[in-house]
Structure 1
Amino acid sequence: MENFIRELKEINNLSIIVRLTLATLCGGLIGYDRSRKRRPAGFRTHILVCIGSTLVMITSQYINDIMGYGSDPTRLGAQVISGIGFLGAGTILITGKQQVKGLTTAAGLWASACMGLAIGIGFYEGAIIGCSFILGSMTLLHRFDNYVMSKTKLMEIYVQLSSVKGVSLVFDSIRSNNMEITNVDMVKNRDSEDMIGLFITIKQKEKHDHEKILSLLGTIKEVASVEEL
């Protein structure tokens, strides 16, 4: 058993296959979660990032151990960590409703690259434990984050109105239900000159279910659509 573990720590055909297979599995687990949520960087992207960073560290170890150049084995890995930024930046988008999307996916790509570096250098324990923590953060903590956001007294909503007459109706409805408007931004709809959009920050004096508030505003005649940001 000790000989087998020693072989996995060294550079040979067996360790290369094991490391790349583990990188595919770990990267695939994280990428599957992103694909399931229809994010731009999904299953294959995370696998490729993890495999690529693993291969970089295998190459670093090969240069240092086999070729005997005595170079710093962490040098190539450092370039991966800094270079992955351009890929992560490509997943971050600002939507027409001023929402920032893709930050978690970008962080997941960076974490997958770090995980691949750990696998590539033969730090299997750290990579597997790290994979479980990364996956847990993206799944379990995602539900917890949604729960916390649904219970907070602050709400940011986007209301689309069919005419400017609806602005006062929306404001009156919010204030009459014991809520305070802390910020308002008005934008014109690009598709229709009559329709306008409102970005409203609401502070509740008493906790209410967010879905009930959205349903309440949705009953106003001039409101075409309403959603929480």
Structure 2
Amino acid sequence: MSNAVSFLREISLWSVVLRLIMALFFGGLIGMERGSRHKAAGFRTYMLVCLGATITMLLGQYQSEMLNMCWAKYANVTGMRTDVTRFSAQVINGIGFLGAGTIIVTGHQAVKGLTTAAALWASACMGLVIGAGYYECVFLGFVLIFFCVRILNPIGTHLIEKSRYMNLYIEFESMDDVRAVATRLREYGIHIYDIDLDHGKQEEFRYPNAVFTMRLNGKQSHAEIIAGLFKLEHIKLIEEV
């Protein structure tokens, strides 16, 4: 057992495959739990961040091994003592500012762009691996990142639709209508955790609105709840956020 673990700690093709798949799996498990609770960072975001961090760590180990083996004689001849990991560290720090620019909070108080930022960061990590010539990690890393971004999108949407946690953005004609919505939700057996109210602004033609954070009893689907609320009078807009 100890020999097998020692082998997997070395930099080899099988070690790279195992580590990247573990990052995908365990990051996805954490993201699945967060997504089921309707948090902003969900299934794919956690996968991509865990995957990018694993790729970066693999790159650091690869560079260290190359400096001590294949590149050792050139470093001794030239007297080079440069820490090559500093360059990748600067890229990781810098890409954070670029990724932050893709994250926005919408007018409905919903956070958007987290998965895009995570994909951007993971792509930057993959670019570092390409630049280092770590080809075994490059191709598998690309496949897994593409898998997260493209293939897993319907799965993430399905998890949100089946979640027992729900956030609804609702616009009314007046703030007096909030009580009618809350009463209807309680009739469905829904537990309301929080109501974030906004009185709106007449000069900006904004209706009064509220974001309801709640937990479903498991009997109704999200679509049925939204359809039931639309039957109330004075409701202008309902969106799940």
TM over 0.5: yes
Determine if contact 1:173/1:217 at 8 Å carries over to the other structure.
yes
Any unmatched runs of 5+ in structure 1? 1-56
Q: CA deviation at 1:177?
A: 2.0
Give percent identity, aligned residues only. 37
Q: 2:106 aligns with which of 95, 104, 110?
A: 95
Match of 1:164 in 2: 175
Determine if contact 1:111/1:134 at 8 Å carries over to the other structure.
yes
Q: 1:112 aligns with which of 120, 123, 128?
A: 123
- String of CA shifts for 1:140-177, please: whole Å, max 9, x gaps: 33222221111122211011001223222212211222
Match of 2:231 in 1: 219
Query: In structure 1, what residue type is equivalent to 2:226?
Result: L
CA distance in 1, matches of 2:92, 2:215: 40
CA distance in 1, matches of 2:79, 2:152: 45
Determine which structure has greater relative contact order: mean sequence separation of CA pairs < 8 Å that are 6+ residues apart, divided by chain length: 2
CA distance in 1, matches of 2:217, 2:125: 44
Closer, same or farther: CA 69–142 of 1 in aligned 2, 3 Å: farther
Q: State the TM-score, normalizing by the size of structure 1.
A: 0.66
Any unmatched runs of 5+ in structure 2? 1-62
Query: In structure 1, what residue type is equivalent to 2:225?
Result: I
Determine if contact 2:192/2:215 at 8 Å carries over to the other structure.
yes
Q: CA deviation at 1:192?
A: 3.2
Match of 1:152 in 2: 163
CA distance in 2, matches of 1:139, 1:214: 28
Matched, 1:205 2:230: no
Q: 1:78 aligns with which of 71, 89, 102?
A: 89
Closer, same or farther: CA 95–114 of 1 in aligned 2, 3 Å: same
Q: Would you say how many aligned residue pairs link Structure 1 and Structure 2?
A: 168
- String of CA shifts for 1:39-83, please: whole Å, max 9, x gaps: xxxxxxxxxxxxxxxxxx9xxx9xx96994623333322211111
CA distance in 2, matches of 1:207, 1:93: 33
Determine if contact 1:152/1:207 at 8 Å carries over to the other structure.
no
CA distance in 2, matches of 1:206, 1:88: 36
